[in-house]
């Protein structure tokens, strides 16, 4: 016989669920996440606990996909949801709709307060920021020795500038006391000689992305002051592009990500090679242009040679030829000297690095081009000189001196007028007759 005072388990659990949902409704609960289980369906199942108790939580796929903060083991969070009972097991659970990071508002307030304090002291001033070297030989990395950020930076450095040597100073980048280790590493490298550390040209300080709590060590004052006091240029590379830390404002340069920091501090090797090739092509164009210009001038001199006196034909072309040769030599030497000096400077900077062979090859090509150009110019000048000699001989053969040699003479009046007809002369007028070996004066009868 059914007992009127007895109810089924299902009805009891259902009453419990209704009572909780009606009496408590939607609530905010704070605690630590543990036992996180992410299902393939997208639902999240985990436990929320504090020092005295714990309860099961479920966050269904729709709410989980829209959540700005994704709960994970060990996180201190604030959850908004509805307390209910899972009837199949009779267990109480919180159906979560929203997640916030507990203490984030307090951390943000601390961030703004420290930022305002350091800004007032002038630590963010552009006048204090040191320039990042264009061609670093060694790059110091202050980050976790096991993080993905380190591998990302090493990959970028190896791809863009394989001659640059990265040097790691491994530190803890998250957790209690991590800021002390980061600041200590910066201080140690700032005085690298006293601490037996290798000399580096620039430091990259940072880590991969995370929550505000994860990145908080880079918002600590001790890290900011270590960066500001560092004798070596510092690039801050903390988190993702949207993340900003106090270290970003104090550093000499802020990079949006660790990978971007590696790209910013070293040049692209392939781009450098293209520049060297452009320099060589530009030098060749300058020399070829000068050669063409002087060839044009020499061509003009050849066209006007027969209309000039013998002395001028010999004097002016030789002077111009000498000046042209000097100008070409000076221009070529200057261009080659400047390029060789630049290449030697780069070679000295990277004397211990493997691109040296590439630069040596370019220098050999430049020297070879110089020799070829010298040979071409010497041949051209020799041909021009032979042509001038032939023209000089022609002028001598066609000029008045050759007529005197053949027995001809020229008669002129005393005032130098050339006698072309007897009608020009009057009786008693004195004539001057020019012969090959002298002059004869005579009187007209």
Most confident of 68-72, 116-120, 315-319, 438-442: 116-120
Q: Is the pLDDT of residue 305 over 60?
A: no
Domain membership of residue 382 as a residue range: 269-398
Return phi, psi of residue 93, to 5°: -150, 160
| Of 361, 148, 305, the residue nearest 240 (C-alpha) | 148
Residue 3 lies in a domain: no
Residue 2 lies in a domain: no
CB 364 within 8 A of CB 276: no
Query: Where residue 309 falls among pLDDT bands split at 50, 70, 90?
Result: low
- For the segment 404-431, the average pLDDT, to the nearest whole number, is 79
CA dist 311 and 319 (Å) reads 12
Q: Are residues 142 and 70 in the same domain?
A: no
Choose the final residue of a domain: 246, 265, 284.
265
Helix, strand or coil, per DSSP, at residue 115: helix
Least confident of 196-200, 297-301, 395-399: 395-399
Token pair for 218: 């880079």
Indicate the number of domains in the chain: 4
Which pLDDT does position 105 carry in this prediction? 60
Residue 1 lies in a domain: no
Q: Are residues 125 and 251 in the same domain?
A: yes
Residues 19-32 have pLDDT tens digits of 877 777 789 999 88
């Amino acid at each position: 016989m059914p007992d009127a005072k007895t109810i089924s388990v299902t009805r009891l659990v259902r009453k419990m669920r209704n009572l909780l949902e009606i009496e408590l409704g939607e609530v905010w609960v704070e605690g630590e996440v543990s036992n996180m289980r992410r299902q393939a369906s997208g639902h999240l199942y985990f436990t929320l606990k504090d020092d005295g108790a714990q309860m099961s939580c479920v966050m269904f796929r729709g709410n989980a996909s829209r959540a700005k903060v994704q709960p994970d083991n060990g996180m201190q969070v604030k959850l908004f949801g509805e307390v209910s009972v899972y009837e199949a097991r009779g267990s109480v659970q919180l159906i979560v709709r929203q997640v916030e990071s507990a203490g984030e508002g307090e951390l943000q307030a601390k961030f703004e307060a420290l930022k305002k304090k350091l800004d007032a002291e002038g630590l963010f001033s552009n006048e204090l920021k040191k320039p990042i070297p264009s061609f670093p030989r060694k790059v110091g990395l202050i980050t976790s020795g096991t993080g993905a950020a380190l591998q990302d930076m090493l990959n970028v450095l190896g791809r863009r500038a394989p001659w640059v040597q990265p040097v790691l100073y491994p530190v803890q980048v998250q957790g209690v006391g991590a800021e002390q280790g980061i600041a200590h590493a910066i201080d140690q490298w700032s005085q690298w000689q006293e601490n037996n550390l290798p000399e580096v040209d620039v430091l990259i300080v940072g880590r991969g992305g995370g929550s505000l709590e994860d990145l908080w060590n880079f918002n600590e004052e001790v890290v900011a002051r270590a960066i500001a006091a560092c004798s070596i240029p510092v690039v801050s590379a903390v988190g993702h592009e949207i993340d900003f830390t106090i270290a970003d404002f104090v550093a000499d340069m802020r990079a949006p990500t660790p990978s971007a920091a590696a790209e910013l501090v070293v040049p692209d090797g392939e781009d450098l090679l293209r520049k060297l090739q452009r320099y060589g092509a530009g030098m060749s164009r300058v020399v070829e242009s000068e050669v063409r210009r002087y060839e044009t001038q020499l061509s003009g001199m050849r066209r006007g040679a027969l209309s000039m006196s013998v002395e001028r034909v010999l004097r002016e072309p030789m002077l111009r030829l000498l000046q042209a040769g000097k100008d070409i030599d000076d221009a070529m030497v200057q261009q080659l000297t400047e390029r060789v000096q630049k290449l030697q400077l780069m070679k000295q900077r990277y004397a211990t690095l493997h691109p040296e062979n590439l630069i040596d090859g370019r220098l050999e090509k430049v020297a070879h081009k110089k020799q070829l150009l010298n040979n071409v110019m010497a041949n051209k000048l020799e041909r021009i000189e032979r042509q001038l000699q032939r023209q000089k001989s022609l002028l001598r053969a066609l000029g008045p001196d050759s007529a005197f040699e053949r027995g001809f003479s020229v008669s002129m009046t005393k005032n130098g007028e050339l006698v072309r007809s007897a009608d020009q002369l009057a009786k008693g007028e004195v004539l001057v007759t020019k012969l090959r070996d002298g002059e004869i004066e005579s009187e007209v009868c």
